[in-house]
Amino acid sequence: MQLSEKALAISPSLTLKITAMAKEMKARGLDVVGFGAGEPDFDTPQHIKDAAVEAIRIGMTKYTPASGTLELKKAVCANLKRNHGLSYEPNQIVISNGAKHSLFNTFQAIVNPGDEVLVIAPYWLTYPELVKMAGGVPVYVEAKESNNFEPLAADIEAAVTERTKAIIVNNPSNPCGCIYSQKTLGDIAEIAQKHDFFIVSDEIYGELVYDGNKHLSIANLSDDAYARTILVNGLSKTYAMTGWRIGYTASTPEIAKIMGSYQSHATSNPCSVAQFAGVEALMGPQDEIRKMREEFNERRKLMVKLVNAIDGLSCVTPMGAFYVMMNISKLKGRRLEGKEIKGSVDFAEKLLEKKLTAVIPGAAFGADDFVRLSYAVSRENIEKGIKRIAEFVAMLD
């Protein structure tokens, strides 16, 4: 029988192969250092866990409104106001099962078959697949390492067509770790206004910025940018709550209504207990967040220093999130035991096999000259893993 063409068009995750290999090796008792993690290694703060226990105790265990509880929507609004000076009303907020689900809803709400969505490369590998799931076509705009992985206005403009429906702005970026300057955000907002398309702003790493930088939401730039932005965020990264599955969108009441209806038939509400705890996360004390950020910052500096000390490898200093894009282009074409390292997949596979260190090949993000290293791991493991990478490079002919 014929299966769904739309479903068949979805690519399997390239990262899974390496992650599965690393897991299997760990299970065999091997001492694998994993730089693949896309989640904080910290535990969820205790006061948030306590709130979840309280939710269960008082019976917050039933269906909630499909698009989320009013309390959590209000907490999201308060948070957007406090952190960004952005004004939203609860009817503009939709709470979903993680930011990934929020993004899924977003594309379902705005994309018609054949519509194009601009994706800035290197990109988070889920974006193109989410666009395709909605019947859209991802169109790539390359952002160069030499420009700190920020896209150039001329390159964005050149990719715009009659069918352009939206641009995805992931700021701070996974996998690049860059944060966009006000100039770049302004250029994007201007092009979106000129050609009248949506801005999908994924700000999931917005609280994880370093060196005294402050996260700037593109929705903050002008009334027009605010009106055409669907802002996506969630609790996973900021509050070390990846497993709780709470994400949200802030958009126009019209779009929020469409997404709410869509969600009401697809999944109903996100977990009632997690929503209750989410209010505590957003409205409770924020000191743990600061502590996590400080620790990430130390790890970031350590990793950047160690990577740049290895001959043949380099990285620009990331300003946000918890990833380092390690440039391996100088090693392409070198050989290991007679076999050529052709690109990031060969590099990642051989590094894991020979030195028990897992990294994510940049090919997964549309950037074969790089591998991604997560610093959501202990400083001790950063030292150990980067030392192994240096030993691996020394093995190449």
381 binds ligand PMP (CB under 6 A): no
Minimal distance, residue 55 CB to ligand PMP, in Å:
19
270 binds ligand PMP (CB under 6 A): no
44 binds ligand PMP (CB under 6 A): no
> How far is it, in rounded angstroms, from Cα 325 to Cα 126?
18
* Pairs from 73-80 (Cβ < 8 Å, separation ≥ 24): 73/248, 75/278, 75/279, 75/282, 75/283, 76/248, 76/250, 76/282, 77/250, 78/282, 78/283, 79/282, 79/283, 80/231, 80/250
Closest to ligand PMP by CB, 38 vs 128, is 38
177 binds ligand PMP (CB under 6 A): no
Q: What angle do CA 196, 120, 259 make, to 5 degrees?
A: 55
Q: Could you say which of 66, 204, 231, 360 contacts ligand PMP (CB under 6 A)? A: 204
Minimal distance, residue 191 CB to ligand PMP, in Å:
21
Residues linked to residue 247 through DSSP beta bridges, in sequence order:
96, 234
35 binds ligand PMP (CB under 6 A): no
Q: Could you say which of 92, 105, 164, 170 contacts ligand PMP (CB under 6 A)? A: 170
267 binds ligand PMP (CB under 6 A): no
Contact 217, 206 (CB under 8 A): yes
171 binds ligand PMP (CB under 6 A): no
Minimal distance, residue 373 CB to ligand PMP, in Å:
14
For CA atoms 326, 331, 337, 339, the dihedral sign is: positive
Q: Tell me the residue number closest to ligand PMP, measured at CB.
A: 98
90 binds ligand PMP (CB under 6 A): no
Q: Could you say which of 202, 288, 346, 369 contacts ligand PMP (CB under 6 A)? A: 202
247 binds ligand PMP (CB under 6 A): yes
Convert 132-144 to b/e letters by CB count within 10 Å (16 or more is b): bbbebbbbbbebe
Residues linked to residue 169 through DSSP beta bridges, in sequence order:
201
124 binds ligand PMP (CB under 6 A): yes
Residues in touch with ligand PMP (CB under 6 A)? 38, 98-100, 124, 170, 174, 202, 204, 234, 236, 242, 247
